[in-house]
Amino acid sequence: MFISNGGNNRLAGLLLAAATFGVWVAGPAMIGYVPIMVVGALIFYLGISLLEEALYDTYGKMNRLEYLTVLAIVLIMGIYDFVAGILAGIVLACLNFVVQTSRKSAIRATYSGEIVESTVRRHPIQRHFLHEVGYQISVTKLSGFLFFGSIVQVEKQSRALVEDEAFRLEPIRYLVFDLTHVNGIDYSAAEAFIRMERILGRRDVRIIISGVRSESETGKALCNVGLWSESSSVSFFEVLNDALEYCENELLKAFYRKRDSIYSPVDTRRQSHQSHQSLDIPAPNRTTSSSYDPFNPRFASPRARFLDAAATSALSNPDQSISATAGTSPYDPHKYRNLKQPLPLLLQTFHDLAPDRDQDFWYRACPYFTRSQLAPGETLYSRGADPDAWYILESGMLHASYDLPVGRYSESIVAGTTCGELPFFSETRRTATVTSEGDAVVWKLGREEWERLQGEWEEGARVLLEVALKLTKERMDAVVGYVLTTAG
What residues contact 169, with CB distance under 8 A and at least 6 apart?
none
Is there a domain that residue 20 lies in? Answer: no
Residue 19 has pLDDT above 60, yes or no: yes
Q: What's the total number of domains in the chain?
A: 3
Question: Quick one: 200 and 126 in the same domain?
Answer: yes
Rounded to whole angstroms, how far apart are CA atoms 382 and 447? 17
What average pLDDT does the segment 371-384 reach?
A: 92
- Give the number of other Cβ atoms within 10 Å of residue 217's Cβ: 13
Q: Is 302 inside any structural domain?
A: no
Class of residue 77 by CB neighbours under 10 A (exposed 0-12, middle 13-18, buried 19+): middle
Query: How does residue 287 score in pLDDT terms, banded at 50, 70 and 90?
Result: very low
Residue 313 lies in a domain: no
What is the rounded distance in angstroms from the CA atom of residue 307 to the CA atom of residue 60? 56
Residue 240 and residue 372 in one domain: no
Q: What is the rounded average pLDDT for all residues in the chain?
A: 81
**Distance set, CA 405 to CA 367, 409, 429, 485 (Å):** 40, 11, 16, 20
Distances (CA, A) of 199 to 65, 351, 407, 468: 34, 44, 38, 46
Across 238-259, average pLDDT: 85
Same domain for 113 and 231? yes
pLDDT score of 286 more than 60: no
Does 462 map to a domain?
yes
| Tens of pLDDT, residues 288-327 | 344 434 444 444 455 565 566 666 666 565 444 333 333 4
pLDDT at 392: 93
312 falls within a domain: no
pLDDT tens column, 37-47 = 888 888 888 88
118 and 93, same domain (yes or no):
no
Q: Is residue 283 part of a domain?
A: no
H-only helix segments in 28-81: 36-51, 64-79
Give the Cβ contact number of residue 386 at 10 Å.
Answer: 13
CATH of the domain at 243: 3.30.750.24
Domain that holds residue 68: 34-103
pLDDT digits (tens, 9 = 90+) for 398-444: 999 988 777 788 888 888 889 999 899 988 999 899 999 889 999 99
- The residue from 57, 79, 103 where one domain ends is 103
User: What pLDDT, on the 0 to 100 scale, is given for residue 81?
Assistant: 86
* Whether pLDDT at 248 is above 80: yes
Identify whether residues 235 and 119 lie together within a single domain: yes
For residue 381, being part of any structural domain is answered with yes
Question: Domain end: 256, 271, 286, which one?
Answer: 271
Indicate the range of 94-103, 181-190, 223-232 predicted with least confidence.
94-103
Mark which of 243, 271, 299 sits at the end of a domain. Answer: 271
Position 284 pLDDT exceeds 50: no
Listed in sequence order, the DSSP H helices in 278-419 are 302-315, 343-349, 359-365
| Domain-embedded: residue 17 | no
CA separation for the pair 384, 487 (Å, rounded): 27
CATH number of the domain encompassing residue 387:
2.60.120.10
